[in-house]
Chain A
Amino acid sequence: MPMIRYVLVRLCGALPTLLAIVTISFFLIHLAPGGPFDQEQTLPADVVANLNAAYGLDRPIWVQYTRYLGDLARGDFGPSFRYKDFTVTELIRQGLPVSMTLGAIAIAIALLAGVATGVAAALHRGRLLDHASIALAVVGIAIPSFVLLPALGLLFGVWLHWLPVAGWDRGSIKDLVLPVVTLALPPLAFIARLTRGSMLEVLQSHYVRTAFAKGLALRTIVLRHALRPALIPVASYLAPAIAMIMTGSLVVETIAGLPGIGRYLVQGALNRDYTLVLGMVIVYSALLILMGLLVDLLIAALDPRVRLEA
């Protein structure tokens, strides 16, 4: 099976990349000034020394590095320095489902609505629907989430009282609406723009003209002939977008008060919570690499001319 071989070769090729990313991050965060035990009230020197000894931070950095890699090889991300009594694995395991649920719904909405908008705009090129979709795309790309979410909260929460401004009540649907909409809008806008562009190109191609000449219905032409190649640029865009959205949005989760993992990367880097940062970097880049692979498989499925060559 050439496909299985391709996947295996790609996954093996990803390991050095991942190792390089872990190594760079490890030394960057460890060499940055400050440490995990610098707090507002300074601890006595011997306490810090004991803490450092307990976590192995008093050893030479090479020893720490090899030990970390050893733990990693056994699937152990290590203890968090700031969230006492929690391991990084526990923190990520608790928060990741929340972030992934939000992200998956948002991406699904963005994909469906974005492709639909893009196709509709391309079919009505130059007319009102097209202009409206371009306006939506520009606004969706340009408005930052930390403006959109408070503004939506103000409108639907404070003024209209339809939805809660923030909160997490075991994932009740009402709590999810505003964060999901906020997360979905930028990728939706981008996907709509990409789909419109590639759809216009495909509609001018010879085989689509042939399909029209054969007298096929518009619906059949769009769905069976034009859509597949038009989705290829969307597929390439999806890989980084999914990795980004699934690892949680700091802004959306903080403003909406959701217990995801979005805040760990920034907080971890600020607190020098070495293991937490590295854990988040690994989750993000592994997801990015995995999505890149999936997207390449998807493109090969969409475009029969593409051959998978490792």
Chain B
Amino acid sequence: MIESADEDPLAPAAGLWRDAGRRLRGSRAALLALGVIALLVALALLGPRLNPNRSDTIDWSCIAMPPGLRHAHWWGTDRLGRDLFVRTLLGTRISLAVGLIATAVSLVVGIVYGAIAGFVGGRVDHLMMRVLEILSGLPLIFFVILLTVVFGRSVYLLFLSIGAIGWLTMARIVRGQAMVIRGREFIEAATAAGAGPVRIVLRHVVPNVIGPVIVYATLTVPQIILFESFLSFLGLGIQEPQASLGTLIASGAAEMESAPWMLLVPSVILATLLISFNVLGDALRDSLDPGEL
């Protein structure tokens, strides 16, 4: 955080955001990453409509065809003659949705948990951190598998279960920030003005921890997309005939000797997406926190 002690405590945010925005605009890598993400989102939303093929139609005349212009199979077809352009972009859409929704879930849980632990402190904090320690000792995949077993395999459940587990690090970050903020004068002022603990946490603690949280959230999106594609790769996530980038890569990896484009097309999209989010997250961190490079 760049705000210093002598800044007006009632309006520290405006300066922080304006500075951060200027530094972000100055970073070519960040702008490029943002542009690539916007392009991929637009492509995922509009692309499938631009192509005459449907995701689950089998084109018997074009089985496992390399990328080209024939029958508008721009990115080729798979073993079953399904169009890879449409399938990959629909898969991108699902991967993006999983990443964003699960990050939102982990954001809410992590902020509330971390803010309470950090602000209340003492025995409550000790207990909550102990719980966190136990939860992070459990392998994450174990939880997700059990959740998919208990609730059946639905995409929505996948969003929730990944998000419900991804909040651990978020909670730690928020707690650390909240502990710093707890001792600041404006909290004392709020207490003196008669604000209750719930109001203080929601109105005063949470808004002040949001900077690092946004950075971490930007870096969480690619982690979750990666995790979702890993689950789908194992056959635990998205089910046929729907496709996610993970399922497409899994089937592509099995065919890589005879039809390498089946692996390359979804892999390139996934890698581009992940790299862009990581670059954006790094640039955001640099722009919000110029002290740490």
Contacts and interface: CB of A to CB of B under 8 A. Distances in A.
A255 B253 contact: yes
B206 interface: no
19 contacts: A18-B137, A21-B134, A29-B146, A33-B150, A139-B271, A142-B222, A147-B263, A147-B271, A150-B256, A154-B256, A154-B257, A158-B256, A247-B139, A270-B149, A280-B139, A285-B137, A285-B138, A288-B137, A289-B137
B263 A151 contact: yes
B274 A154 contact: no
A150 B263 contact: yes
A146 B137 contact: no
A139 B141 CA distance: 24
B146 A32 contact: yes
Interface in A257-284: 265-266, 269-270, 277, 280-281, 284
Given A142-B271, A144-B226, A151-B263, A251 B142 contact: no
Nearest to A196: B293
A24 interface: yes
Given A21-B138, A151-B263, A266 B234 contact: yes
- Describe B's contact surface by its main secondary structure: helix
Interface residues of B, number: 39
A141 B219 CA distance: 11
B133 interface: yes
Given A24-B138, A153-B256, A269-B146, A200 B293 contact: yes
A288 B134 CA distance: 11
Interface of A: 17-18, 20-21, 24-25, 28-29, 32-34, 138-139, 141-144, 146-147, 150-151, 153-154, 158, 197, 200-201, 247, 250-251, 255, 265-266, 269-270, 277, 280-281, 284-285, 288-289
B88 interface: no
B233 A251 contact: yes
Shortest 3 CB-CB contacts between residues of A and residues of B: A142-B274, A150-B253, A285-B137
B229 interface: yes
Contacts of A32: 146, 149-150
Interface centre among B141, B146, B260, B263 (most CB of A within 10 A): B146
A142 B223 CA distance: 8
Given A17-B133, A142-B274, A197-B293, A154 B145 contact: no
Contacts of A144: 226, 229-230, 270, 274
Nearest to B293: A200
Interface of B: 130, 133-134, 137-139, 141-143, 145-146, 149-150, 222, 226, 229-230, 233-234, 246, 249-250, 252-253, 256-257, 260, 263, 267, 270-271, 274-275, 277-279, 282, 292-293
Nearest to A286: B137
Contacts of A200: 293
A200 B290 CA distance: 13
B134 A17 contact: yes
A28 B146 contact: yes
A154 B146 contact: no
Contacts of A25: 138, 142
Nearest to A277: B142
A270 B146 CA distance: 8
Interface centre among A18, A142, A143, A151 (most CB of B within 10 A): A142
Contact of A138 (B234, B260, B275, B292): B275
Interface centre among A144, A197, A201, A285 (most CB of B within 10 A): A144
A281 B278 CA distance: 30
Given A142-B277, A197-B292, 19 more contacts: A25-B138, A29-B146, A32-B149, A139-B275, A142-B222, A142-B274, A142-B275, A143-B271, A144-B274, A146-B233, A146-B249, A146-B253, A150-B253, A151-B267, A197-B293, A251-B230, A251-B233, A255-B253, A265-B141
A284 B138 CA distance: 8
A46 B166 CA distance: 43
B293 to A, nearest CB: 5
Given A21-B137, A21-B138, A141-B278, A147 B270 contact: yes
Contact of B134 (A20, A142, A197): A20
Nearest to A255: B253
A167 to B, nearest CB: 15
A281 B270 CA distance: 30
Interface centre among A18, A146, A251, A280 (most CB of B within 10 A): A146
Contacts of A288: 137
A147 B249 contact: yes
A197 B292 CA distance: 7
Contacts of B256: 150, 153-154, 158
B254 to A, nearest CB: 9
Nearest to A139: B275
Nearest to A240: B136
Contacts of A139: 271, 275
Contacts of B234: 250, 266
Contact of B230 (A20, A146, A284): A146
Contacts of B130: 17
